[in-house]
Amino acid sequence: MEKAKIYITRKIPEEAIRFLQKDFEVKVWEEDRPVPREILLKEVRNVDGLYVMLTEKIDQELLDYASNLKAVSIMAVGYDNIDVSRLTEKGISLTYTPGVLSDTTADLTFALLMATARRITEANRYLLEGKWESWGPMLMAGQDIYGATIGIIGMGRIGEALAKRTTGFDMKILYHNRNRRPEIEERLGAEYRSLDDLLRESDFVVLLTPLTPETRNLIGERELGFMKPTSILINASRGATVDEDALYQALVNKKIWAAGLDVFHHEPVPKDHPLLQLENVVALPHIGSASIVTRKKMAIMAAEGLRDALLGNRPKHMVNS
Ligand code: DGY
């Protein structure tokens, strides 16, 4: 019997490719950059399964080309690049990689928070540029982390893993979420707040919510206006949850103290983007889950999802059912 065909849009860890090759005919986009749209539209024509990253837009146009497509698997926990309702209408399954990246992403989020509060990248640049002439009483003085109040917006798996880390720093934990999480309130002492109250009370506001129509531009001029001039905004979710123009104004006008950003509206963010010109911004290239072990686990998990969906077994982590 002819093997079902799979297209993988990026070079992923070898073990995940070998795993899929056992049951399927596999083609991989070998270059270390996202597959160009016109090539993806061509490749998708006769495949049964598509293994994608967050860099590919899976929309109506692509689905019009994909006459054999039965399953899509994304090597990510966020899938805002995928039109899930269109997939569902066409009976195409979507699998993803929740859970496996939560701790790694929480580690990075906390590292970004610390780097922003203690001006790590700015201080490093200062030293490398030969500006360090003497120790100074207020040289590169930042904000304290221990004992501060953190406000986590989006108390899912990653939010919970981040909250756990903050307890070692005696931080007060506030959270805002679609649903209250009594077990986290009990276990970690987290307190629920409305969005506005969380913004008013927190020293660190951390965005970890998925991007949905409700969370798009969740933090704009009005919301930034509630934050304290000493507060720090950290975004490790999706860039579009924050109005970047409003954030720029808030940072320039010292309405808030600093921002740590792992994500941007348009990625890769251009080098001349106004936010990247500010000293009180720490910017990273969307590396929340980027540890070697975790990325390998994600690659295998996405492969397992695709295999199960194509072989007619119920996948463990399915977005639509
Ligand atoms: C995800 O999985 O959605 C992250 O943003 C990429 O690691």
pLDDT at 1 over 90: no
In sign, the C-alpha dihedral spanning 69, 74, 77, 80 is negative
> pLDDT at position 320, please?
96
Q: Is the CB of 288 under 6 A from ligand 1?
A: yes
Question: Average pLDDT of the chain?
Answer: 98
Confidence of residue 266 (pLDDT cuts 50, 70, 90): very high
Tell me the CA distances in angstroms from 101 to 18, 97, 267, 320, one per residue in order: 22, 8, 20, 20
Return the best residue to mutate from 74, 77, 261 for the ligand 1 pocket (most ligand atoms within 8 A of CB). Answer: 77
What's the 76 CA to ligand 1 centre distance in angstroms?
5
pLDDT digits (tens, 9 = 90+) for 221-247: 999 999 999 999 999 999 999 999 999
Sequence-separated contacts (24+) of 79-86 with Cβ below 8 Å: 79/54, 79/319, 80/210, 80/211, 80/212, 80/238, 80/240, 81/52, 81/54, 81/55, 81/56, 81/57, 82/52, 82/58, 83/58, 83/59, 84/319, 84/320, 86/59, 86/60
Helix locations, 139-220, DSSP H: 157-167, 182-188, 195-201
> What is the percentage of the chain residues whose pLDDT exceeds 70?
100
Q: Is the CB of 209 under 6 A from ligand 1?
A: no
> pLDDT at position 119, please?
98
> pLDDT at position 315, please?
97
287 within 8 A of 262, measured Cβ to Cβ: yes
pLDDT digits (tens, 9 = 90+) for 148-160: 999 999 999 999 9
pLDDT digits (tens, 9 = 90+) for 84-112: 999 999 999 999 999 999 999 999 999 99
Average pLDDT on 69-83 reads 98
Q: Is the CB of 177 under 6 A from ligand 1?
A: no
Q: Is the CB of 77 under 6 A from ligand 1?
A: yes
pTM above 0.90, yes or no: yes
- DSSP string covering 187-209: HH--EE--HHHHHHH-SEEEE-P
C-alpha count within 13 angstroms, C-beta hemisphere, residue 235: 28
pLDDT at 190 over 90: yes
pLDDT digits (tens, 9 = 90+) for 283-314: 999 999 999 999 999 999 999 999 999 999 99
**Does the annotation mark 238 as catalytic?**
yes
Q: Each residue of 60-76: b (16+ CB within 10 Å) or e?
A: eebbeebeebbbbbbbb
pLDDT at 17 over 80: yes
Return the best residue to mutate from 101, 109, 215 for the ligand 1 pocket (most ligand atoms within 8 A of CB). Answer: 101
What's the 74 CA to ligand 1 centre distance in angstroms?
10
215 within 8 A of 156, measured Cβ to Cβ: no
219 within 8 A of 167, measured Cβ to Cβ: no
In sign, the C-alpha dihedral spanning 256, 104, 271, 124 is positive
Average pLDDT on 41-56 reads 97
> pLDDT at position 321, please?
77
Of the listed 119, 286, 295, 307, which one is catalytic?
A: 286
CATH number for the domain whose boundaries are 5-100+292-311: 3.40.50.720
> pLDDT at position 252, please?
98
Going by their DSSP bridges, the two strands 172-176 and 191-192 should be labelled as parallel
Q: Is the CB of 98 under 6 A from ligand 1?
A: no
What's the 78 CA to ligand 1 centre distance in angstroms?
6
Task: Tell me the domain boundaries of the chain.
Answer: 5-100+292-311, 102-283
19 within 8 A of 303, measured Cβ to Cβ: yes
User: End-to-end alpha-carbon separation of the chain, Å?
Assistant: 27
**Does the annotation mark 273 as catalytic?**
no
Q: Is the CB of 75 under 6 A from ligand 1?
A: no
- What are residue 163's phi and psi, to 5 degrees? -55, -40
**Does the annotation mark 200 as catalytic?**
no
Which residue puts its alpha carbon closest to atom 3 of ligand 1? 78
Of the listed 15, 31, 267, 279, which one is catalytic?
A: 267
> What is the percentage of the chain residues whose pLDDT exceeds 90?
99
Average pLDDT on 5-17 reads 98
140 within 8 A of 122, measured Cβ to Cβ: yes
In sign, the C-alpha dihedral spanning 137, 139, 145, 150 is positive
Q: Which fold has domain 102-283?
A: Rossmann fold (3.40.50)
Q: Is the CB of 74 under 6 A from ligand 1?
A: no
> pLDDT at position 140, please?
98
DSSP 21: H
> pLDDT at position 16, please?
98
